[in-house]
């Protein structure tokens, strides 16, 4: 599996974003912020 550096960096960034989404820090968010993040997540999936 060979990737260009740019592809690899994008892949790492996606991984990091996923990890951030899983972390418990999400629970500290207020409800409106959580809703916003959910909408953002859905938009993100549609883009791919």
pLDDT in tens, 1-48: 688 999 999 999 999 888 877 666 555 655 555 556 666 666 655 655
Cα 42 from Cα 46, distance rounded (Å): 6
Tell if the pTM clears 0.85, that is, is over it. no
Burial group, residue 48, by CB count within 10 angstroms (0-12, 13-18, 19+): exposed
- pLDDT of the residue at 3: 80
- pLDDT of the residue at 25: 59
């Amino acid at each position: 599996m060979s990737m260009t550096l740019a592809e690899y960096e994008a892949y790492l960034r996606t991984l990091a974003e996923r990890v951030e989404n899983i972390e418990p820090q999400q629970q500290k968010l207020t409800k409106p912020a959580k809703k916003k993040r959910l909408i953002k997540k859905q938009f993100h999936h549609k883009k791919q």
